[in-house]
Each structure stands twice: as C-alpha cells, then as structure tokens.
Structure 1
Amino acid sequence: MNKFQNLNFSSLGDFLDYLPDNELEIVEELRALVYECIPDCKEKLSYNVPFFSRNRTICFIWPGSVPWGTIKEGVILGFSRGNLLSDYAGYLEKGTRKSVYTKTFLHVDEIDPQLIRDYLFEALEIDSHSNKKS
C-alpha cells in the first residue's frame, strides 16, 4: 500500500474482483485486445492497476474505482509513450501531459476494437525499436 491509495491488490484476480461490473466489462475487453495484439507482453500490477510491457511499458488500464487516477468513473486506456504515436484519428486525450496519452471509456460499447488494435500495433512497433530498460 502506498500513501496515495488505501488499496493493495495481491494479485490480478484481487484487482478484477474489486471492480464494479461496468468497469470489469471494459477492463476485460481492453485486456483481451492488448493480449490479441501483444501476446508476449508482460502484465504487472503497478499502482494497483495493470501495466503491459515488453522492452518498456507500452500501456496501462486504469479504472476510475482505483484511487489516485485522474478519473472517478469509467476506465482509461493509457499509452506510456503516446507522444510517439501518430494519433491519425485524433482519438487520444493528451491534456497537459508530455508523453502519456489516454482514452477514457464509460461503457464497453464505446470501444472501437479496430482503432484500439491500430494504436496497440503502433505502440508495439515503437516498443520494438526501444532499447531494453536498464
């Protein structure tokens, strides 16, 4: 547990069990897309939410019910190096962040699987050209 969160999930199962049904549905759909596009990624809970990496962190999924996030409802799909993505569709939320770009989903029907795949494949390509983190 850290000083910003009063949660400490010991496993991915604990994390998933904690989520309200609407967030769980979105998280499961996004995780399925991540694993479809990046089958060899490593998934690790960090800040009590799943982060996905290969050479470096590629993306994360942050539900609003997990404190310390910037949202109170819905689920964020974040790209750690979003500033390097082309964002050809103008789909990602940049805010005032320098590198992390996100998309917030309030309902599973808002997820455009093909568009998410495009962004995940581009993020994977960027990661493939990255040196491993020391």
Structure 2
Amino acid sequence: MKMQPYKFRDVEEMLDSLPKEERTITEFLRSLVLDTLPQAKEKLSFNVPFYSLRKNVCHIWPGSVAWGKKTYEGVSFGFTYGSLLLDETNYLDKGTRKQIYSKKFLSLSEIDVTLLKSYIFESALIDEEVYQSKKLKD
C-alpha cells in the first residue's frame, strides 16, 4: 500500500503544496535544523524532510502531507532518538511510539526555539554515540 497518493520530487515541491501557515512553520523548523546542524543532510522520505548525520536525527511532518489517508492540523517535529533525549519537562509527545518522540506546532509562537535547538543538538550527539557503539560491536 502506498502511503501518499503523490510523490514530491524535492523539498521545494513539498513546501509549495502546503497551506500558508503550515509552510511558514515548516520553513522555520527547516531553517532551525539547518542552522543548528549545518552538516546535516536533508532528504525526502515518506514525502517529508528528514535530516541525517550518521542516521536520521529528526524530521518535519506537515499535517497536510498524508500518512496513508491520515492528515491533521499543524506541523509535527519528530526526533528519531526521542526516547534517549533528556526531556525532563515532558515537552515532547511520547504517544504510543517506543523510540520517536515529537512535538506538534499549530503556530510559530508555540515554538520554544532555545529548547528545540537543544534537543536537536542533543539528538546529534546521540546519533554519534549510537554510531560509535555499533562500530565498536562490529
């Protein structure tokens, strides 16, 4: 079963398809990731931008980009290693997922830039730690 009815060619095409408020939030989050992790590689996966160093670190999922037939309002920012982040304030939504934690934003004013940047940076450190520990086992 295909997850989305349409496959975007690149991030710009995906951005062009978004409603104005989602696009604004997505572009802001995208800039935040690329400013925090300038070495990160951006790629579309499941029709949304994922950011990787050794492995995927985080992703931005605009609500109007369907997961199967499911859409929602806002933009979700997910962390691949969310379960390993120090989230003492419970800022991130754990949901029913074991590893990926996220935060949904309905407006730019909801984004705590300092906190989100710290999670992005911490995710990059965890990515390197996971890579090094697997490398030692091999």
Normalized against structure 2, the TM-score is what? Answer: 0.90
Q: Give CA deviations for 1:58-95 in whole Å, capped at 9, x if unaligned.
A: 00000010011765110000001100001122100001
Q: Aligned ranges for residues 2-17 of structure 1 at < 5 Å?
A: 3-17=2-16
RMSD: 1.8
Once residues 49 and 126 of structure 2 are traced to their aligned partners in structure 1, the CA distance between those partners, rounded to angstroms, is 20
Q: Which residue of 2 aligns with 1:22?
A: 21
Q: Look up the SS of the partner of 2:92 in the other structure.
A: coil
Aligned residues: 133
Matched, 1:52 2:51: yes
Deviation at residue 96 of structure 1 after TM alignment = 1.2
Q: Which has the higher helix share?
A: 2
- Unaligned residue ranges in structure 1 (runs of 5+): none
Partner of 2:100: 100
- TM (norm. structure 1) is 0.93
Secondary structure (helix, strand or coil) at the match of 2:130 reads coil
Instruction: State the structure with more CA Rg.
Output: 2
- SS at the partner of 1:128? helix
After TM superposition, the structure 1 = structure 2 runs for residues 1-134 of structure 1, keeping only pairs within 5 Å, are 3-68=2-67, 71-131=71-131
**Letter matched to residue 25 of structure 1:** T
Runs of 4+ in 1 over 3 A off after TM superposition: none
The alpha carbon displacement at 1:20 in A equals 0.6
Distance (Å, rounded) in 1 between the aligned partners of 2:109 and 2:45: 27
